Amino acid sequence: MKNSESKPTLEISSSIQAPIKKVWDYFNLPKHVVNWNAAADSWHCPSADNDLKVGGKFNYTMAAKDGSFQFDFSGTYTEIEHHSSIKYVLDDDRKVEIQFRDDNGTVNIIERFEAENMNPLEMQQGGWQAILDNFKQYTENN
């Protein structure tokens, strides 16, 4: 993924012990997204909308459970290869690329994303990794 000088690209990854169809569905279907899309136990994803097609949009509401803060994580899909990869542009123009690599019942997910410039890179990488770790746990346990 190409990046601009002002937006460094960060990478996170995880290996999920589940079939690719399950991993793909749990990653993309709103009824599953709301169960894993949070970086900490004090946060949740009360709503998720996803139109998984090129030009389609997604919107995930990220909210503190105590009601003190919330924001929308949203963007537009630019490329989709079923069971293989997803690319999108966030509403703040940052690019994200996700690869799904099926290896005999283990799916390796690699996410690359352009960092924003308001929070430290380590915090951003840690937050995105925590969400992916929640996804792994949710997918393997359900």
How many domains is the chain built from?
A: 1
Tens of pLDDT along 56-96? 999 999 999 999 999 999 999 999 999 999 999 999 999 99
- CATH code of the domain covering residue 123: 3.30.530.20
In a domain, 46, yes or no: no
pTM: 0.93
pLDDT of 4 reads: 45
Q: Residue 15 is part of which domain span?
A: 9-39+79-141
- The predicted pLDDT at position 1 comes to 59
Q: Is 55 part of a structural domain of the chain?
A: no
**Is residue 16 within 8 Å of 109, Cβ to Cβ?**
yes
pLDDT of residue 5: 55
Is 134 among the domain residues? yes
- Positions of the chain with pLDDT under 70: 1-6
Q: For residue 142, which of 15, 19, 14 has the smallest C-alpha distance?
A: 19
Shortest CA distance to 62 belongs to which of 128, 10, 6, 17? 128
Residue 109 counted as domain residue: yes
Residue 7 has a pLDDT of 87
